[in-house]
Structures are given as structure tokens and as C-alpha cells.
Amino acid sequence: MKASRTQAAKDLAFRLALLACLAIAIGLLVLLLVDVALDGTGTLTWDFVNNFTSISADKAGIQAGLWGTIWLMGVCAFFIVPVGVATAIYLEEYADPTKWWNRLIELNIQNLAAVPSIVYGILGLAFLVRGPLHLGNVVLAGGLTLGLLVLPMVIIAGREALRAVPSSIREGSMALGATQWQTIWRQVLPAAVPGIATGVILALSRAIGETAPLIVVGAVAVIAFNPEGLDSQFTAMPIQIFDWISRASNDINDYRPLAAAGILLLMILLLAMNSVAIWLRNRYEQKW
Amino acid sequence: MASPLTTIKPTAKEAPPRDGQSKPREAIFQLDNVTVSYGDKPAVHDVTFDIARNEITALIGPSGCGKSTLIRCLNRMNDLISSARVEGTVAFHGQDLYSSEVDAVEVRKRIGMVFQKPNPFPKSIYDNIAFGPRVLGVKGDMDEIVERALRHAAVWDEVKDRLKTNAFGMSGGQQQRLCIARCLAVEPDVILMDEPCSALDPISTGKIEDLMIDLKRDYSIVIVTHNMQQAARVSDKTAFFTVTPDDRVGTLVEFDDTETVFTNPTDPRTEAYVTGKVG
């Protein structure tokens, strides 16, 4: 009897230790959110969303950053969806895994997903902004750089979605005289769309908060216009937030509430995107 | 697609009758010393027999005897497994299916297949049937094609009011008949069935067996089955395979009229299996 009581006590202690660790993680997140919300909610008004940034803090807003981010995400999505899905289809449906080069590609895509984002920034600077493509520090270069950064995520998510389609569907289609391409295009891909879409949204929500690579490719911090095309200069929400944080605040101009409001807006966008991803997964995912 | 297969009429070639076959009918498949291997390991070795037109040919035998491997050679489904290799000749209406000028896609248009587990597409009942004709570019009234296929597979009355609903809502037996209907909609010459009833209850099994007997007027059917009563009930010819104990390779033991195989087999191994002493 005694032994079992010590066992029970150990069990309880272990459970409490686990809960304490969980509490640290959750607690810090809550602390951060509450702190940001206290600083930012007063500033997060329609004017804040609608104004450009300004030297005087009470007139400054995030419009250029918001539209810059929207443009970047658009370019990024246009790039990662076709390239990512095509790569996933090749690796999952065509590549022979017994060949060493296919295994090498696969290994490298896993590695690419773990490369620090600043490295992608340098890549973008060297090859897109300057170098062979010489696009300049414009929306197109920024969006493509973010696209390169999250492309491995899309490929990995796409492969998982394709793998989830049972091989009996492929066999059933091929047995009717459909070609491999008809099978992929009309059966496998439509069944994998919810999973792929979820992966794309999660990749975009990773890209939306990236700051370092955008600084490297030359996003402009103080800008009072929205992008008008792919060849416009741009800023983005994280860049704008970073700029406000790094400015010296004084009694007349306090930039800290602006940064907090910017963070809140970014968080709202991010949570909205993740909610859509979760909803998509639950609503449309095929149960086999 | 100028495949030789598209130019062969079903009656183009009369097969010469082979020795030891009681009723020589036109052979639709002629297998000659067929060996199928996965990598270096043969799964089924040196199989020679003919499959006749408008008959039901059953392939029976214990697990691992290579009967499923063999049936998948007949429409080149084994091509999907990169390590699979076929030696010998599998002739379909006299044309070697594995010769270099034959396109596997063309082969599968002519030789349909129904699988062990019902595998409807995650689409409506209607679209399941229409998929085959659509990818083959069939012109014509699709509603009519769909209705004809479903009627032919004896599932029309059960689903006619819900053609636009998802096929996953059907029962297992209905799903399997849908898969047969899907196969009929592309009008093949042959239907290969790989244990089509093993996932079904006895009533659904009975319906599918009735359907098979019905279908053999228009089609040639090859069925792999674990169920010996089923082979005895529906098939005209039976091929019995076994696994050699020493090297675990499948071989054809006996091929004859079903009645002969079940009542008066020549090989003692066949007798032991069909009487339930082994297996």
C-alpha cells in the first residue's frame, strides 16, 4: 500500500512538472499578447490602417505596409502554387525513389526548409535584386524572395497531400485506360487540393511575418505610397513595425503604440489565415 | 495513337486448339511460359494456358501462389510496379501485350479491371461512370452511357434517384457494382476481377456472382478468388496454382474445365486443395 502511494505521488509530481512547462509557454504568449494589446489597442483605429507613416506619431499609419504585404503575398502565392505543386507531383508521382538523384533532391528540400531566412534574403539580393535578373528593390523581387523561402514548405505539404490519396484511386483510373497524366490531373490532384491549399496558406502565414530577408532585398522603411505594380518600391508590415520600434521616442512623438498596433494587426491577419487553413482542412479533407 | 491493339478485331485471329483441352473455343489470351518477377525473385513461374472468349476463367490457389500477380499481367497493371518484370509471352488476340509497339494505356482500354476492395472515386456516382468515357474522348449522350452501364451492372434501380450524390455513400456491395459499371462504361473486351467479393457480405457476393454469369454473354471474364465455392459456382474453367515449398515460387498445377478440376482432378495437389485438406 505504501509503495503505491509513493507511486501516486511521483505520478502527480511528474504531471505537475509537465503542466508547469506548458504554463511557461502559454504564459509567455499571453503576457506578450496582453502587453501588446494594452499598448496598441488605443492606436489600432481606422486612421491607423488608412494613414501612411509620418514623422509625427499621431498622424502615422500602416497603409503602405499593409498594401506592401498584400502585394508581396500575392506575388509569393503566384510563384509558390504552381512551382510547389509541380515539384510535389514530380517527386510523389513520377520520381523513382530508388534512383540516387531523386533521393538527393528529396534530402535537399528537407534541408532547404531549415535554411535561415536571412540566407534567402542574400540569395534574393544577389540573384533577383542585383545579378542576373537585376530587378531592383521592387515588389517582384521581394515576393519571389519570400516565395523561395517558403517553397520547401509548400512542396512538403503538397507531397503529404498527394500521398494521402490512396493508390487504389490511381489504379482504378489507370485500369480504365486513363494515362498517368489524366489520372493525376483529374483524380489525384482534385482529391489533394484541400491539403495543398492548407499547406499554401500556412506557408503564406510564415512568409507574412518575415522581416530579415526583406531588409536585405531592400524594402524601404519610410514610404508614403502603396505599390502600383510589380516594379514599385515597397515596404511591408514587419518592416514598418521594425522601423517604429527602432526610432527614438520622446514626449512629443511616441512610436511605441504604433509598433504595438502594427503587431496587433499582423497577428489578426495571421490568425485569420490560420483559421481559414484549419477550416479548409476540416471541411474539405477527404476521409478515405 | 496507332497502337496495333486498336486495329485488331476481336475475331481477327482464331487460336489453334491446344492439346488436353476438352472444348476448344477461341482463345482471347494465350499465355506462353510466363514468368513474373519482382526484382530478382520470381513470383510466378513458367505459366502456360489459354483463356477462352465469353467464358469465366477462375484462378485459384493458396496465398502467395502468384494468381494476383498473374492477373495483373493481363492488362499490364504490373507496369505500375517498377521492379516487376514479365518474361514469356502474354498474347491478346494473338498480339504480344509486352512487345515494344504496344501501349499499356491502349491495353487497359480494352481490358478492364475490378479490384479486391471497391475503389470508387471521391466523386458523384454519375461522374464515377462518366470518367472513363470522358478520358477516352467518347462522344455521345453521356446520360445514356451512364444509365446503360449502371443497368448492365444491376445497380441502376438502387441509385437512379441519387446519381449526383457522392459514391462514398453507397454500401460496399453497391460500390463494387459501381466499379463494375465503371469498367463496362468504357466497353472493354475482357474484365479482370481480382478477388472482387472478398470485402463483401454473402448477399452482395451473390449479386455479383449473378452479374458475372450475366456478363459473360458479352465479355470474357478472368477472376481471382480465394473462395473455392465461388470458383465452382461461376467459372467455366479453373486454373489451380500453388506455391512450391522449397523456393516459394507460384506455379500452375492444373488447368481444365471447372467441373473436372473440382470433381476429378489429375494432380494430387489439386485434389488436396479443392477438397479442403490443405490451404
Q: Which residues partner with A182 through β-bridges? A: none
ipTM, interface predicted TM-score of the complex: 0.86
Q: Choose from B78, B79, B103, B108 for mutation: most chain A CBs within 10 A.
A: B108
Q: Is the pLDDT of residue A19 over 90?
A: yes
Residues of B in contact with A178 (CB under 8 A): 105, 131-132, 135
pLDDT in tens, A52-110: 888 888 888 899 999 999 999 999 999 999 999 999 999 999 998 888 999 999 899 99
pLDDT in tens, A179-215: 999 999 999 999 999 999 999 999 999 999 999 999 9
pLDDT band at B24, cuts 50/70/90? Answer: low
Q: Is the pLDDT of residue A177 over 50?
A: yes
- A286 part of contact set with chain B, CB < 8 Å: yes
Q: Identify which has the larger pLDDT, A284 or A157.
A: A157
Cβ of A172 and B179 within 8 Å?
yes
Q: Identify which has the larger pLDDT, A211 or A252.
A: A211
pLDDT band at B8, cuts 50/70/90? Answer: very low
Question: What pLDDT, on a 0 to 100 scale, did the predictor assign at position A219?
Answer: 84
Question: What pLDDT, on a 0 to 100 scale, did the predictor assign at position B10?
Answer: 44
Phi, psi of B65 (to 5 degrees): -85, 0
pLDDT band at A45, cuts 50/70/90? Answer: confident
Residue of A171, A179, A191 lying closest to B122 (CB–CB): A191
Across chain A, mean pLDDT equals 91
pLDDT band at B12, cuts 50/70/90? Answer: very low
Question: What pLDDT, on a 0 to 100 scale, did the predictor assign at position B145?
Answer: 95
Cβ of B135 and A177 within 8 Å?
yes
Q: Which residue of A has its CA nearest to B104?
A: A177
Cβ of A178 and B135 within 8 Å?
yes
Domain coordinates in residue numbering, chain B: 23-103+111-119+189-274
- B119 part of contact set with chain A, CB < 8 Å: yes
Q: Choose from B72, B76, B105 for mutation: most chain A CBs within 10 A.
A: B105
Domain coordinates in residue numbering, chain A: 2-40, 48-284
Q: Is the pLDDT of residue A262 over 60?
A: yes
Question: What pLDDT, on a 0 to 100 scale, did the predictor assign at position B15?
Answer: 46
Question: What pLDDT, on a 0 to 100 scale, did the predictor assign at position B279?
Answer: 55
- B113 part of contact set with chain A, CB < 8 Å: yes
Across B132-161, average pLDDT: 93
Q: How many CB atoms lie within 10 A of CB B148?
A: 17
Four-point Cα dihedral A221, A226, A230, A234, nearest 10 = 0
Cα angle B214, B219, B220; round to 5: 110
Cβ of B115 and A186 within 8 Å?
no
H or E segment to which residue B50 belongs:
strand B41-52
- Using CA atoms, how far residue B201 sits from A51, B193, B195, B232, in Å, is 69, 17, 13, 18
Count CA atoms closer than 13 A to A272's CA, side-chain side: 7
Q: Which residues partner with B191 through β-bridges? A: B112, B221
Question: What pLDDT, on a 0 to 100 scale, did the predictor assign at position B20?
Answer: 46
Q: Which residues partner with B34 through β-bridges? A: B47
Cβ of A175 and B75 within 8 Å?
yes
Phi, psi of A98 (to 5 degrees): -80, -10
Residue of B117, B122, B186 lying closest to A176 (CB–CB): B186
With a pLDDT cut of 90, the percent of chain B lying above it is 76
Cβ of A171 and B77 within 8 Å?
yes
What's the length of chain B? 279
In this structure, are residues A250 and A272 in contact, taking their beta carbons and an 8 Å threshold?
no
Q: Which residue of A has its CA nearest to B81?
A: A96
Question: What pLDDT, on a 0 to 100 scale, did the predictor assign at position A3?
Answer: 66
pLDDT band at B162, cuts 50/70/90? Answer: very high
Residues of A in contact with B121 (CB under 8 A): 169, 172-173, 187
Give B106 to chain A, closest Cα distance, Å. 6
The CA distance from B93 to B5, in Å, is 9
Cβ of B182 and A96 within 8 Å?
no
- B72 part of contact set with chain A, CB < 8 Å: no
Classify domain B23-103+111-119+189-274 at the CATH class level.
Answer: alpha beta
| CATH 2.60.120.10 for the A48-284 domain, yes or no | no
**CB within 8 A of A272, min separation 6: which ones?**
none
Q: Identify which has the larger pLDDT, B44 or B245.
A: B44
**CB within 8 A of A152, min separation 6: which ones?**
A109, A110, A112, A113
pLDDT in tens, B196-244: 998 889 998 999 999 999 999 999 999 999 888 999 999 999 999 999 8
Q: Is the pLDDT of residue B9 over 60?
A: no
In this structure, are residues A178 and B129 in contact, taking their beta carbons and an 8 Å threshold?
no
Question: What pLDDT, on a 0 to 100 scale, did the predictor assign at position A224?
Answer: 81
- A187 part of contact set with chain B, CB < 8 Å: yes
Give B122 to chain A, closest Cα distance, Å. 7
pLDDT band at B4, cuts 50/70/90? Answer: low
